[in-house]
Amino acid sequence: MKNLAILASGSGSNAEVIIRYFRNHETIRIVLVISNKVEAGVLEKAERLGIPSMVIPKKCWQEETDILKTFNNKQIDGFILAGFLLQVPPFLIERYSKRIINIHPALLPKFGGKGMYGKQVHQAVKMAGESNTGITIHEVNEVYDDGEIIFQASCSILPTDDVETIALKVQELEHIHYPKVIEGHFKSI
């Protein structure tokens, strides 16, 4: 059994889909939801879905010994980022090599990097006149949105699509693919 934790800073729609997908799963268990924000919607979702959660504020992420001890005690084998806006500290990336993955709401390497999250991404895609967009699921390294790509899926953008419409199309792809890609990735390592 692999124990995974979800890291999220926002509403947690992906977290919810992932938690539901892995209920009663044979090899993967979502054991913890972690947020850096007390007000993050994902915490309510975790409670509703019966998954333990904790808040680790931004300043505490540099406390290497405490952080590693916490995750060791909880026997965490890997992390799923689902809208987590803090940079993952290098010591965690080193300790959990290949076992921290993220989803980005565009087709990397375009439209990624610091500050590229949420609506900004879709706005940039629209402004660039792209005819398609999509999702990228990748390993996490020290640079935002730069780790090895595991999976991409795309959808088309119509000239009449606004940022909201693009966001909905991308979110649909996220919910369809992220759980299955997590399953495949953690089976293979």
Helix/strand/coil for 5: strand
Cα distances (Å, whole numbers) of residue 46 to 32, 40, 41, 57, 139 = 8, 11, 9, 18, 24
Least distance CB 18 / ligand GRF (angstroms): 9
Asked if residue 104 binds ligand GRF (CB under 6 A), the reply is yes
Nearer to ligand GRF, 35 or 71 (CB): 35
Size of the site for ligand GRF (CB under 6 A): 13
Nearer to ligand GRF, 12 or 99 (CB): 12
Nearest to 174 by CA among 27, 10, 3: 10
Asked if residue 13 binds ligand GRF (CB under 6 A), the reply is yes
Asked if residue 169 binds ligand GRF (CB under 6 A), the reply is no
Q: Residue 50, CB half-sphere, CA atoms under 13 Å: how many? A: 5
What distance in Å separates the CA atoms of residue 7 and residue 42, rounded to the nearest whole number? 9
Please pick, among 25, 104, 175, 185, the residue that the annotation labels catalytic: 104
- Diameter of the chain by CA atoms? 51
Q: Is 104 a catalytic residue?
A: yes
Asked if residue 87 binds ligand GRF (CB under 6 A), the reply is no
Asked if residue 105 binds ligand GRF (CB under 6 A), the reply is yes
* Residues with a known catalytic role: 104
